[in-house]
Amino acid sequence: MASRGAGASYDGRMSSPHETHPGSTPGAAAPSVDSLSPVRDREAIDPRGSKRDRSWPPMPDPLPFPVIDNHCHLDFADGDEQLSVRDHVERAAAVGVDAQITIGSDLEAVRWTAALLASPDCPESLRGGVAIHPNEAALHARGHDHEGRELIGLDEAISEVSELLRGPGMVVVGETGLDWFRSSRRDEQARQAQIDSFRAHIALAKELDLPMQIHDRDAHRDVLEILDADGAPERTVFHCFSGDAEFARECADRGWYLSFAGTVTFKNAADLRGALAEVGLSRVMVETDAPFLTPVPYRGRPNSSYLIPLTMATIAEVTGTDLETACRAVRATTQDVYRWPGTVAA
């Protein structure tokens, strides 16, 4: 890991990422945070739609030591009451989740995330990452979305991602990878587009010396094969890790990191908890994937970073540690992976 200079404790104010930066346009007026509305509603892609409970879960007890939500989607709206970016940030901070990484994974969300981070009043605790999601890669290769609207080509889309990753506040390439759940592996065009996109993002993460977050759904072996063949970025993170203990060990032995979401709390996720127990805390981080994957007992309801204490409680229990020890370990790993400013407080 690159060394970081001495700075204020992480309990203090972070340095701002919102400065003139290669890739930004000096003198250009960036939009205010309050003017940025979410680009889509969760119900547009959630098959349960209006049948689910859309009320926001209550605030849990605060964590004994603060952690970072290393993967959420602030570009999505959800809930019976729309929360602003500031609402999400403030609710999270109140329970000890004092920093978030918001991920844009289609071109509209990519542009939204870049605009958010470039805003002069962007909360200082926010960072971001962008990429073309594997399912989106297949659509760009076809040249149109599911509704028949024209899309730019995959190479052009990745080129735009590359440019925006050089802007302020960007700390990760992602999410990228393979998804054989929504895009059939037997669809040659879709399969090849996902593979080509994945390899392009791997190269981009190496070029920019950034971590890479992987979306791996029903594609464990193919993901491993490509990472081994191309050479994984130094800091490779399996976002919303979904493998079993054997796969977790293969990833950890290669020096990669596993990020656990609310799924680890689900009753039917014994294999996932077995994976967490296999690797322990040394290479583990926590995320929400909000507004999706809300932890038990609020599964199916809207998710936000303020619910991470529920996931952290399960991480502590499964790894046989007290909650504060688990929080300290998870935070230290997250800061190292994303080269976050400041140091963990003693």
Q: Which residues, including other chains, have CB under 8 Å from residue 146's CB and lie 6 or more apart?
A: 139
pLDDT for 40: 85
Write the single-letter amino acid at 290: A
Query: N- to C-terminal Cα distance for the chain?
Result: 20
How does 140-150 read in b/e, with b if 16+ C-beta sit within 10 Å?
bbeeeeeeeee
pLDDT for 341: 79
Helix (H) or strand (E) segment spanning residue 223 = helix 220-230
- Identify which has the larger pLDDT, 203 or 39: 203
Strand, coil or helix: 65: coil
For 165, the token pair is 């990753």
pLDDT for 176: 98
pLDDT exceeds 60 at position 28? no
pLDDT exceeds 90 at position 25? no
pLDDT for 3: 31
- Indicate the pLDDT class of residue 50, thresholds 50, 70 and 90: low
pLDDT for 15: 39
pLDDT for 345: 37
- CB-based contact 38:75 (threshold 8 Å): yes
- Indicate the pLDDT class of residue 314, thresholds 50, 70 and 90: very high
- Indicate the pLDDT class of residue 49, thresholds 50, 70 and 90: low
* Rounded CA separation 131/157 (Å): 9
pLDDT exceeds 70 at position 6? no
pLDDT for 47: 66
pLDDT tens string 129-149:
999 999 999 999 999 998 899
Give the position of tokens 């250009």. Answer: 28
| Average pLDDT rounded to a whole number, residues 253-280 | 98
pTM over cut 0.75: yes
As beta bridge partners, residue 258 has 238, 284
Helix (H) or strand (E) segment spanning residue 170 = strand 170-179
The percentage of residues in the chain with a pLDDT greater than 70, rounded to a whole number, is 89
Q: Which of 267, 312, 324 lies closest to 287, judged by CA?
A: 312
* Rounded CA separation 317/313 (Å): 6
pLDDT for 192: 96
| Average pLDDT rounded to a whole number, residues 188-202 | 96
pLDDT for 222: 97
pLDDT for 45: 77
pLDDT exceeds 50 at position 18? no
pLDDT exceeds 80 at position 126? yes
Helix (H) or strand (E) segment spanning residue 70 = strand 67-72
As beta bridge partners, residue 215 has 177
pLDDT tens string 92-119:
999 999 999 999 999 999 999 999 999 9
- Indicate the pLDDT class of residue 14, thresholds 50, 70 and 90: very low
* Rounded CA separation 143/145 (Å): 7
As beta bridge partners, residue 5 has none
For 184, the token pair is 């059939």
Q: Which residues, including other chains, have CB under 8 Å from residue 186's CB and lie 6 or more apart?
A: none
Of 66-75, 182-191, 305-314, the range with the lowest mean pLDDT is 182-191
Q: Which residues, including other chains, have CB under 8 Å from residue 141's CB and lie 6 or more apart?
A: 153, 154, 189, 190, 192, 193, 196
Most confident option among 21-25, 36-40, 127-131: 127-131
* Rounded CA separation 72/291 (Å): 7
Average pLDDT over all residues of the chain: 90
DSSP notation for 97-115: EEEEEEEE-SHHHHHHHHH
DSSP 180: T
Domains and CATH numbers, the chain: 54-338 (3.20.20.140)
pLDDT for 29: 67
- CB-based contact 138:183 (threshold 8 Å): yes
* Rounded CA separation 100/288 (Å): 10
pLDDT for 78: 94
- CB-based contact 151:139 (threshold 8 Å): yes
